[in-house]
Amino acid sequence: MEVMYIVIPCYNEEEMLPITAKALITKMDELIVAKRISPKSRVMLVDDGSKDRTWEIIEQLHESCELFTGVKLSRNKGHQNALLAGLMTAKDYADIIVSMDADLQDDINAIDGFLDKRAEGCEIVYGVRSSRETDTGFKRWTAQTYYKTLAALGVEITYNHADYRMMSRRAVEALSEFKEVNLFLRGIVPMVGFKSDIVTYERAARQAGESKYPLKKMISFAVEGITSLSIKPIRFITGLGFFIFFVSIIMLIYFLVVHFSGHTVAGWTTTVVSVWALGGLQLLAIGVIGEYIGKIYLETKARPKFIIEKNLEEDK
């Protein structure tokens, strides 16, 4: 029987944690009794520098029930880094690691499906949402457009898969070899390879507390995903540059012809329009390139992605 760790990043989840904990106790007990996972299996709650009582709750859970363990990050580092911190800590104790959110939006019963696939020899199993009915129309639309954009940019990504997945220790070890600071897990995990499969599940609405991903964070996460996985936007700009250069040559010829055939061009409109159009385009182009240079800048610094302040697993 394999030791399974469920890694859950938690940021200001005091309202949700007790509910999640209860559901997980039932689920884990069920799996342990059915001898599908080892009794040494745990739920690892990663406190991502929460400002509320999240860490106290994690410590309480750990004291009252051996099923729970916790890791406290030194400060808020965001969902992806918190998840990574959990994976990297859990891989020292677990054979298989499931990652999920604290809000129970991901159906915990899909874990049975994960274990089935694992028994078939999969190293990575992706949880894929079968529908997006519980999302608002806006979120559904933005998410779909986003997946399509990523696919068009040549990024290999599993449609409608977020961060609910199971990875074997071997897969997580391989993931740890990816040293990049700009981390977009759902784009990088497929690069790990190995035998993998998907399990579909119904995604529920958040039961308590509110989404920790406001629009602003969502947008920056989306940009992060694109720029850390694809350089096609830069190629596009180069292409656009060539195209505009080509157009300007045709315009030059046209103006010369007009000039020498004696017609005078009023010209004001053309000038103003092209100044604005080209100016705007140049700023945009510089912006996109700047985005990548910013990435390179951060990568060269190679700062730690997370710092662990406390690991409850260690003080046993």
Cα–Cα nearest to 9, from 66, 60, 71: 71
Using rule CB under 6 A, residue 106 touches ligand UDP: no
Contacts (Cβ under 8 Å, ≥6 apart) of 98: 4, 5, 6, 7, 111, 114, 164, 165, 166
Q: Which is nearer to ligand UDP, 101 or 123 (CB)?
A: 101
The secondary structure of the chain in percent helix, strand, coil, rounded to multiples of 5, reads 50, 15, 35
Least distance in Å: CB of 91 to ligand UDP? 19
**What is the C-alpha to C-alpha distance for residues 81 and 88, in angstroms, rounded to an integer?**
10
Using rule CB under 6 A, residue 10 touches ligand UDP: yes
Q: Which does 79 bind (CB under 5 to 8 A by kind): Mg ion, ligand UDP, none?
A: ligand UDP
The interface mask with ligand UDP, positions 60-99, x = CB under 6 A, is ----------------x-xx--x-----------------
Q: Which does 11 bind (CB under 5 to 8 A by kind): ligand UDP, Mg ion, none?
A: ligand UDP
Q: Which does 212 bind (CB under 5 to 8 A by kind): Mg ion, ligand UDP, none?
A: ligand UDP
Residue 18: its H or E element: helix 17-33
Edge-to-edge strand list for the sheet holding 96-99: 196-201, 124-129, 161-168, 96-99, 4-10, 42-47, 68-73, 308-311
**What is the C-alpha to C-alpha distance for residues 132 and 158, in angstroms, rounded to an integer?**
15
Q: Which is nearer to ligand UDP, 10 or 226 (CB)?
A: 10
Least distance in Å: CB of 303 to ligand UDP? 17
Least distance in Å: CB of 192 to ligand UDP? 21
Using rule CB under 6 A, residue 238 touches ligand UDP: no
Least distance in Å: CB of 103 to Mg ion? 4
**What is the C-alpha to C-alpha distance for residues 148 and 161, in angstroms, rounded to an integer?**
13
Q: Which is nearer to ligand UDP, 213 or 276 (CB)?
A: 213
Least distance in Å: CB of 218 to ligand UDP? 7
Both tokens of residue 152? 């068009």
**What is the C-alpha to C-alpha distance for residues 88 and 251, in angstroms, rounded to an integer?**
58
Q: Which of 118, 165, 212, 305 binds ligand UDP (CB under 6 A)?
A: 212
Using rule CB under 6 A, residue 9 touches ligand UDP: yes
**What is the C-alpha to C-alpha distance for residues 165 and 189, in angstroms, rounded to an integer?**
10
Using rule CB under 6 A, residue 211 touches ligand UDP: yes
Binding site for ligand UDP (CB under 6 A): 9-11, 13, 48, 76, 78-79, 82, 101-103, 105, 206, 211-213
